[in-house]
Amino acid sequence: MGASKDSAVSDEINQQWTTRARRGLAKSFPYEKLLPDTQPSYLSSWIYVFGALTIGALAMIILSGAVLSIEGPTWWHQSSLGLFVNSLHLWSVELFFFFMVVHMWGKYFMGAWRGKRALTWMSGAVTFSISIAAGFTGYVSQTNFDSQWIATQAKDGINSTGAGAFFNVLNVGQMLMWHIVLLPAVVIALVAIHVILVRHRGIVPPYTEQAREVTP
């Protein structure tokens, strides 16, 4: 009687979503995959560095952006330190896109979607697209003549897509909120998903390495 009761409890525990989620995560993301201590020898090329460089630039964007948020537009337009942090934010963005494009070129030519890595590739491509929107909302949130010019030039294009109904580039308050809350949250979430997928599936092997695995 006691044994059957224990079995029933065990079954119930096994069916709990927390139990199933924990086991699924432990199977898909063991510690050795999440924080590896060794990497395959084919990673010894500079082209594999650009993903990490992109994340480094993103960290600088977020840090400098946080300082700009604390101090506000008057500070970043008028004080020397504010101008410096504003420039740091801009140049971090320049480097972010620079590194990301070189990263994407590398992954494109090595066919990084091979070996069930399509979702990894797509999450990266979507991150690139969302980052462009994040960059754009930053340009129209500068609160200077540049941002006014860009917004008035962009409004017709945005309105022609129908997005102008809820995404008004002439509304600087709305653009600033998109720039400092919504889009960074999406970019950070997508980058996190992208990195987790890279850790889950591993770095794509070169074509030559894959051919060697298929025909030993």
Partner 1 sequence: MVSVFALVASVFNLDTQGHYLRWGFIEISVTNLVVIILMVLVFIAAITIPFHRKRNH
Name the segment binding partner 1 (CB under 8 A); options: 12-20, 37-45, 62-70, 118-126. Answer: 37-45
The yes or no reply on residue 145 touching partner 1 (CB under 8 A) is no
One of 18, 38, 160, 161 touching partner 1 (CB under 8 A) = 38
| Nearest Cα residue to 61 out of 100, 99, 84, 91 | 91
CB 85 within 8 A of CB 76: yes
Residue 95 CB, nearest distance to partner 1 (Å)?
11
Of 38-46, 121-129, 168-176, 200-208: span binding partner 1 (CB under 8 A): 38-46
CB 183 within 8 A of CB 174: no
- Asked if residue 123 lies in contact with residue 193, where contact means CB atoms within 8 angstroms, the answer is yes
For partner 1, which stretch binds (CB under 8 A), given 12-20, 21-29, 97-105, 115-123? 97-105
78 lies in the site for partner 1, by CB under 8 A = no
CA distances from 45 to 40, 106, 115, 122, 169 (A): 11, 11, 20, 23, 42
Q: Which residues bind partner 1 (CB under 8 A)?
A: 38-41, 44-47, 49-50, 94, 98, 101-102, 105-106
